[in-house]
Amino acid sequence: MHRLRHGDHGPAVAEIRGTLTKLGYLHHGTSGIRRESADGAHWVAPDAIFDHQLDSAVRAFQQQRGLLVDGIVGPATYRSLREASYRLGARTLIYQLSAPLYGDDVAALQAKLQDLGFYAGRVDGFFGPQTHESLSSFQREIGIAADGICGPQTLRSLELLGTRVTGGSPHAISEEELVRRKGPQLGGKRIVIDPGLGGPSTGTIVNGISEADILWDLAMRLEGRMAATGMETFLSRPHNADPTEAERALTSNAFDADLMISLRCDSNSSPSANGVASFHFGNSHGSVSMIGQVLTGFVQREIV
């Protein structure tokens, strides 16, 4: 899709404005034409403008969803907007190999199944085989057709059996136990080091030194020092390639890595810009990587 940003206008901007209004990031008083419908107010102005208010709303949404906060609605932000607009019960949920379902409605279903003790995976909004099996187990337990399809009858049963006390994550507990069993030492662990950019993607070049050069040099130094302490290290890419984020993740999974460390640089036009940030996996549904969270704290502490 075309990347939309401040200053753009048209029906696509109206769609984004409508979605963010429905999600509570925009007030009804912002510019546009409002039409009431069964699923709430949404904006249908044929030539809606991507103004400052919409820019702020997009950034707030990106921040909440763990996306790059740039105010630009590209493929990732647009996909996340669509996923966030789904509410449990608005559509039938089913496991589809060819076109898997993603959305906040799937996350809500996973959370309900988790509270009832049927789902022990990560609440990620992806209707995969684990969600299908958990839903089928719930259906068998309460005596309805165990087809793994979340339709009206299953939803009614989930509401009737909703727990009084919620919270806690079986997935987090199992991940903590996995980390505990592997021991506190990094020696013997399989680590993937992921330097950003690469090949034709150099990033910003200053005084003949590029972001890609810095990242590759840092990766080489890390690899040598980590290997010297007994870790099994791999690089996510060769020097002359720039794989996609998905390809880098697939490489890490193929190595069956215990840990993946991604190295990235950034640039700013201001000479006073400085600092370091460390990130670990997390999503807007409350799921986080426990080992990533611990390691990120150590990395940030040591660098600072």
For 36-64, the pLDDT digits (tens) are 444 444 545 567 899 999 999 999 999 98
For each of the domains in the chain, give its residue range(s) and CATH number, in order of start.
11-85 (1.10.101), 86-168 (1.10.101.10), 181-303 (3.40.630.40)
More confident residue, 301 or 281: 301
Mean pLDDT over 260-268 rounds to: 90
In the chain the beta strands, taken as DSSP E runs, fall at 34-35, 42-43, 190-195, 205-206, 209-210, 232-235, 259-263
pTM here is 0.71
What pLDDT score does 38 carry? 45
CA distance 13 to 89: 27
Distances (CA, A) of 74 to 154, 179, 284: 35, 36, 19
CA distance 196 to 203: 9
What pLDDT score does 36 carry? 46
Give the pLDDT band of residue 29 (cuts 50, 70, 90): low
Please name the residue that has the structure tokens 């996923």.
Answer: 83
Residue 115: is its pLDDT beyond 90?
no
Using only C-alpha atoms, the chain has a radius of gyration, in whole angstroms, of 23
